[in-house]
């Protein structure tokens, strides 16, 4: 996003913020009316001259940890939170550690603190932390404990949202795909198969979380029980089960639930603080909270300052003035809140989720979210408005603004070599031989855990043409030998006419998992690949060779020994393309532009940057400078349909207008 000229001037002077026109905001309030008047709109705040002074309420200043975050209520006073016995209000912002390169965690957290926030919230993605049953990963970019401790070091409290389901526009809402192997397991219920898996995961996860709690000297002041269960509401015993699962493993901090206003009554647990998710300030939005907990303070767990993008839809943008006005209302009415997202980051690799409200739509690689910080961590108009607002109500000056992460434009890159997919099959792991198609999750690979992400190729032999039908999730390219003959998907193209063939030919079906639905009951039915029989003229085809294309780092290491072909710009069909990005001696962030390419993925030094797709709205891929080496860097594209010519770079992201 471009800044007005005054922002550019401001950023050239560290620690100086431009003066913007802003409605006068009172520095402190004591409400003498109850929440009934907030709901009715009759409230009239009584002003005080006190500013918020939280200098003694930071993780390293607050030494006495006997009393954690609590809800208090006294006569003639609006209910409020206390921390360590001191009156406290949550000014929170969401940053997901798994969507931000670890090397940039500190930068993003410092910018959160410099804006005036006192709390960071984050989800914990089960699917990334336990990619295979019993095999846990909390290393490198998934080092939850390091992220939480870094927040404490910077002076931020933490609200943890450990799931097991998190939504978050991530694949399957953060649930691991291996849960789908048994079609009888009912996700997000007390079904034995599901809660047994949750218990084993929580045994490992919560043991890591317990030492990070407030009462043990850590920064975690609250923990959320599951996520938005009111929108699901399939099992009345489920939420109490998750609550007890947290308690018996040692969680002692304040527990809360989080739901949209129309689902609050379905998702809350008696005795647990109910929080609300809203798009804008409306008096009646808080009525459900008042109905179930009139003597507790209001917490907006998700105030949506932007929204996520889907491929083929418009880029979402929200007005900065509206955001400022709403946060001003929160402050005026003594409401604690969490901005979702403060910094969205990126759906690197294959982790993006999807929606399906009649049609499957994949979430874009960028999770910019039109958030307070951009995908690359740059300041926005929203940032400066909120910083000025918070500065007007806080007793102490805000920290200096951290410098922007430098960007660079690199020379355009033209691929030097390419490999058709058919040449690559020999470098994959051994294929699976089966009489019938097998969906991704049930492939007998990865120690019995199946395939989570990427592509899957089915090969069989046909000796006649006719009407081909297949149950495909999500989209498939169909080939006779190496010639493309059409597309199959789960919506508009479920049938394809196979032309008359001479002799017997090899039928190939390349299926892409474009992201599992992350919201709604449809999470139950998110198996990918071919999910049923394949027929020609209603006759089932048998005898398949099935290749898994997960495109892990080890796969690209094997490709180095392949015999690549000299690049040609007119190749049609799925293929890999290799080129070199020359980053110089000091690599910097950049954005890749693939203007005349069609649809595929980009890998930089073996790391998956994510999906590009000509349909937009996202037109660039964020490339963190910290993932570049000084000098030459290997870029490999997997292009599904047709080769482009050049890859360009830019210092700014780009979003197209989708008609």
Q: What are the residue numbers of the active site?
A: 228, 302
Nearest to residue 235, comparing CAs of 271, 273, 185, 197? Answer: 185
H or E element that contains 603 = strand 599-604
Ramachandran region, residue 216 (left: φ > 0; alpha: ψ -120 to 50; beta: rest): alpha
Do 78 and 48 contact (CB within 8 A), yes or no? Answer: no
Within 8 A by CB and 6+ apart from 63, the residues are: none
CA dihedral 175, 176, 180, 181 (to 10 degrees): -160
Burial of 585 (0-12, 13-18, 19+ CB in 10 A): exposed
Q: Give me the residues paired with residue 373 across strands.
A: 343, 379
Ramachandran region, residue 59 (left: φ > 0; alpha: ψ -120 to 50; beta: rest): alpha
- The two structure tokens encoding residue 505: 């030919």
239 vs 233: CA distance, rounded Å: 9
Instruction: Provide the sign of the torsion angle of the four alpha carbons 355, 360, 361, 362, taken in this order.
Output: positive
406 vs 378: CA distance, rounded Å: 10
H or E element that contains 157 = strand 157-161
- DSSP structure string for 529-556: EEEEEEEETTEEP--EEEEEE---HHHH
416 vs 17: CA distance, rounded Å: 47
SS3 at position 657: coil
493 vs 475: CA distance, rounded Å: 9
Instruction: Provide the sign of the torsion angle of the four alpha carbons 117, 120, 121, 122, taken in this order.
Output: positive
608 vs 149: CA distance, rounded Å: 27
H or E element that contains 40 = helix 35-40
Nearest to residue 574, comparing CAs of 510, 485, 635? Answer: 510
Q: How far is CA 311 from CA 148, 167, 385, 509, in A?
A: 33, 18, 30, 23
SS3 at position 580: strand
Ramachandran region, residue 262 (left: φ > 0; alpha: ψ -120 to 50; beta: rest): alpha
SS3 at position 133: coil
Report angle CA 134, 139, 145 to the nearest 5 degrees.
Answer: 100
- DSSP structure string for 606-650: TEEEEEEETT-SB-EEEE-GGGPPSSEEEEEEEESSB--S-BEEE
549 vs 508: CA distance, rounded Å: 14
Q: How far is CA 341 from CA 92, 99, 306, in A?
A: 10, 12, 7
**What are φ and ψ of residue 264, in 5° steps?**
-55, -45
Within 8 A by CB and 6+ apart from 503, the residues are: 463
530 vs 74: CA distance, rounded Å: 61
Within 8 A by CB and 6+ apart from 164, the residues are: 126, 174, 175, 198, 201, 202, 226, 242
């Amino acid at each position: 996003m471009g800044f007005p000229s005054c922002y550019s001037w401001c950023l050239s002077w560290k620690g100086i913020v431009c003066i913007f026109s802003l409605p006068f905001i009172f520095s402190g309030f004591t409400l003498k009316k109850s929440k009934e008047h907030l709901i009715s709109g009759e409230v009239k705040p009584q002003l005080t001259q006190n500013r918020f002074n939280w200098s003694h309420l930071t993780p390293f200043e607050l030494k006495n940890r006997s009393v954690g975050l609590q809800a208090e209520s006294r006569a003639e006073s609006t209910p409020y939170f206390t921390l360590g016995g001191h009156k406290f209000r949550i000014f929170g912002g969401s940053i997901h550690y798994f969507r931000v390169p670890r090397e940039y965690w500190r930068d993003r957290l410092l910018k959160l603190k410099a804006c005036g926030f006192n709390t960071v919230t984050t989800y914990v993605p089960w699917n990334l932390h336990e990619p295979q049953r019993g095999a846990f990963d909390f290393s490198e970019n998934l080092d939850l404990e390091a992220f939480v401790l870094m927040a404490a070091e910077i002076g931020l409290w933490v609200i943890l949202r450990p799931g097991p389901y998190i939504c978050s526009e991530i694949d399957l809402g953060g649930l691991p795909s291996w849960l789908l192997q048994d079609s009888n397991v009912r996700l997000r219920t007390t079904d034995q198969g599901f809660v047994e898996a949750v218990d084993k995961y929580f045994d490992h996860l919560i043991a890591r979380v317990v030492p990070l709690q407030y009462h043990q000297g850590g920064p975690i002041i609250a923990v959320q029980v599951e996520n938005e269960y009111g929108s699901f509401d399939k099992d009345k015993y489920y939420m109490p089960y998750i609550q007890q699962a947290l308690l018996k493993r040692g969680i002692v901090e304040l527990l809360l639930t989080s739901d949209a206003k129309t689902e609050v009554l379905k998702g809350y647990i008696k005795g647990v603080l109910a929080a609300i998710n809203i798009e804008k300030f409306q008096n009646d939005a808080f009525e459900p909270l008042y109905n179930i907990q009139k003597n507790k303070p209001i917490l907006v767990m998700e105030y949506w300052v932007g929204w996520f993008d889907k491929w083929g839809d418009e880029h979402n943008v929200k007005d900065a003035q509206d955001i400022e006005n709403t946060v001003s209302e929160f402050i005026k009415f003594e409401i604690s809140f969490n901005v979702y997202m403060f910094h969205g980051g990126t759906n690197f690799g294959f982790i993006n989720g999807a929606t399906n409200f009649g049609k499957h739509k994949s979430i874009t690689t960028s999770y910019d979210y039109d958030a307070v910080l951009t995908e690359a961590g740059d300041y926005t108009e929203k940032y400066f408005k909120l910083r000025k607002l918070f500065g007007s109500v806080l007793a102490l000056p805000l920290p200096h603004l951290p410098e922007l992460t430098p960007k660079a434009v690199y020379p355009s890159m033209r691929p030097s070599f390419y490999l058709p997919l058919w040449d690559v099959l020999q470098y994959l792991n051994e294929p699976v031989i089966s009489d019938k198609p097998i969906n991704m999750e049930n492939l007998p690979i990865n120690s019995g855990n199946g395939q989570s992400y990427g592509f899957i190729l089915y090969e069989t032999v046909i000796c006649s043409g006719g009407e081909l039908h297949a149950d495909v999730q999500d989209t498939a390219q169909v080939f006779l030998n190496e010639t493309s003959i059409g597309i199959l998907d789960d919506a508009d193209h479920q049938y394809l006419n196979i032309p008359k063939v001479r002799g017997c030919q090899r039928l190939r079906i390349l299926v892409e998992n474009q992201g599992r639905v992350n919201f709604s009951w449809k999470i139950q039915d998110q198996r990918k690949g071919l999910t049923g029989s394949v027929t020609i003229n209603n006759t089932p085809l048998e005898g398949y060779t099935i290749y898994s294309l997960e495109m892990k780092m080890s796969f690209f290491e094997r490709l180095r020994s392949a015999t690549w072909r000299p690049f040609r710009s007119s190749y049609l069909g799925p293929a890999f393309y290799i080129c070199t990005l020359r980053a110089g001696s000091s690599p910097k962030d950049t954005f890749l532009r693939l203007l005349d390419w069609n649809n595929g993925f980009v890998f930089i030094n073996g790391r998956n940057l994510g999906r590009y797709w000509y349909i937009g709205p996202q037109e660039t891929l964020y490339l963190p400078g910290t993932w570049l080496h000084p000098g030459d860097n290997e870029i490999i594209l997997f292009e599904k349909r047709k080769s482009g010519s050049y890859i360009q770079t830019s210092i700014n992201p780009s979003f197209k207008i989708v008609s």
